[in-house]
Structure 1
Amino acid sequence: MCADLCDPPHAVQCHVDGLGEYLKAGVDVHAVNFLGQTALHQAASIGASGYVGLLIDAGADLEVTDRKGQTPLYIAVFNRHYDAVKLLLERGADPEGSQKNLNTPLCIAIMYKDVEILKLLLEYNASPVVTFSNGRVCAVDFLLSTAIDGGTCFDLIKLLLLHGCDIDYNPRTCRRMAMSPMFACIFFLKPMAVLLMLYEFGCQRWDFNWRDNRLYDRREDNETFKAFVSQKAASPRTLMSICRLQLYRTFQKRPLKFVDPLPLPPTVKDYLKFEDVRFF
């Protein structure tokens, strides 16, 4: 029933039309295979958006889970099919996935470092307050300690922070992370732009000896990092930075949601939405 992904567009359309005829004939869209997967699971797994739409129109359950506790949305995210993910969310799929699975679709997007799917899930109100299945790390900690392109790391962390992710808090253990985000950024060789972003979003944990040169010696840009940390750790924030952080916390760490309706000049709104914090 599923079209080959290599089929040309007209062939895929023929398959979709054929599926429509099957559905009109009364095929059970809730039937499952030996994995407990419905036709919607299978369509999501190959990114067949045409099938996904037809099956939803025919009454397919958006939240049905297979034997692994995976919803169709979870499978679409897992296989990185952006169009299928978008369609499922538009038609009402729960962005949190299923409680039967230890990881959420958002966790999977973060593990795959997929900026576009992460952004899509957050736009549909997926909770950024997540820990991974081992329960030991939160999203920011995971991204700082994982091998990842610097620009991608920056984009992912900024998206999470703009949508309410705590910069230094594990919601499962109800404790701060063992390693300061600032320390992790330096230790795991993340770019200077990531360290600056963490500071601008309010990270204040200087719980390491920032005067100890051994922390910076592993880096080629050690002098730049050391100068930045020394300056920021030894001096107060600017008044503008303090005001922005206070509003950020007042808005429940969701500036993208609350700033636009405010009667403020565009430049001020951009500042409050951290538009000035960019990768370099």
Structure 2
Amino acid sequence: MTGILPRELCACEITAPEMSRKRGADPGAPPELLPERKKTCWGILTSQGSWADRSPLHEAASQGRLLALRTLLAQGYHANIVTIDHVSPLHEACLSGHVACVRALLNAGANVNAATIDGVTPLYNCCTSGSVGCLELLLQNGAHTHTTHAHFPSALHEACKRGNSQCVEILLSHGADPDYEVSHLGSPLYMSCLHRHTECSKILLHTGARVNVGRGADSPLHVAVRAGGADLVSLLLEYGADVNIRDGNNQRAVELAATGGQTQQLLQSFEVSPRTLCQLCRLQIRSLIGRSRLKLLPVLPLPPLLTDYLDHT
């Protein structure tokens, strides 16, 4: 490696970022550790686990310093340089939402599907930060919407957890499976209901996600009721949620609702006046059409009124 690094790129001048670069959901480094980190340069940050070998390229990508990033690449830093946890500069740029840095790294040959030792990909980090620009750029350059192992983190689950509805919509439009289950998380719909993100749930259901698939015996309706989201409960019922499913404790959704609350009243009202024939027909027709063909509804030679009816609009 040749050339002299600018003073701003000196490792000893680097401060800790606001978010952990190992996992987007982890807390940042405690303030009291910052002076020690400056002294030890790229030493292991014990409060976050192994954080060794963090290079100036990682810092430039994290902070969105495009000129510094290009200078480092020109001086010989490899775009796919990784830390001991296999965090790449591309992971950093995506987690911070720096589109220009992502583009520069991809042009320099960065691996768009690089995974950390925990299975976190740059695409996952885009969903953590909610950066639509970075997400689209990765997908245009061959990012996979599906993970290679069932226990690895899922970008779609992360977008649902964070309530980043645009990311959810883009991932689904690029072939992400709305029913993809992660053993300890359940389905994407379950995740969005758990965190009370109605818009994400609506996008998933509109795309054809199975309304009763949650986590084990726990359905999306169960978790929506526990969260106290009457709007979510109403949405799930509209898309065919089964009120008679019992969770792991052998309880129905109505039994989990707060006494006298809006959610309980909604479920009790539904049980005494079940779905209309109009609703049942729509659910059955959508089921027969199949999830993969629901997107073709607008192009069918049908009257707009019928198309809107089938499309829940």
Q: Deviations over 1:9-50 (max 9, x none)?
A: xxx6xx424544554565422222333223222222222210
- Find the counterpart in structure 1 of residue 290 from structure 2: 252
- The answer on whether the counterparts of 1:162 and 1:253 sit within 8 Å (CA) in structure 2 is no
Letter of the 1:166 counterpart: R
Q: In the alignment, is residue 166 of structure 1 matched against residue 210 of structure 2?
A: yes
Q: In the alignment, is residue 61 of structure 1 matched against residue 102 of structure 2?
A: no
- Find the counterpart in structure 2 of residue 35 from structure 1: 85
Normalising by structure 2, we get a TM-score of 0.67
Query: Aligned pair count?
Result: 251
- The answer on whether the counterparts of 2:213 and 2:219 sit within 8 Å (CA) in structure 1 is no
Q: Which runs of 5+ in 1 are unaligned?
A: 6-11, 171-175, 276-280
1:217–1:265 CA distance, 2 compared to 1 (3 A): same
Q: 1:187 offset after TM fit, Å?
A: 5.0
Give the distance between the partners of 1:42 and 1:138, measured in 2 at CA: 27
RMSD after superposition: 3.4
Give the distance between the partners of 1:62 and 1:45, measured in 2 at CA: 14
Counting aligned pairs with the same residue, the percent is 24
Q: Which runs of 5+ in 2 are unaligned?
A: 1-56
Q: Deviations over 1:60-98 (max 9, x none)?
A: 211122222222112222333332222212322112244
Letter of the 1:63 counterpart: N
- Find the counterpart in structure 2 of residue 230 from structure 1: 272
Normalising by structure 1, we get a TM-score of 0.73
Give the distance between the partners of 1:34 and 1:102, measured in 2 at CA: 18
Give the distance between the partners of 2:122 and 2:254, measured in 1 at CA: 50
Letter of the 2:302 counterpart: L
- Find the counterpart in structure 2 of residue 178 from structure 1: 217
Q: Deviations over 1:95-117 (max 9, x none)?
A: 22442852211111122232222
Give the distance between the partners of 1:141 and 1:268, measured in 2 at CA: 30
- The answer on whether the counterparts of 2:115 and 2:122 sit within 8 Å (CA) in structure 1 is yes
Q: 1:70 aligns with which of 91, 97, 120?
A: 120
- Find the counterpart in structure 2 of residue 173 from structure 1: none
Alignment of 1:30-179 (within 5 A): 30-99=80-149, 102-134=152-184, 137-144=186-193, 146=194, 148=196, 152=197, 154-169=198-213, 177-179=216-218
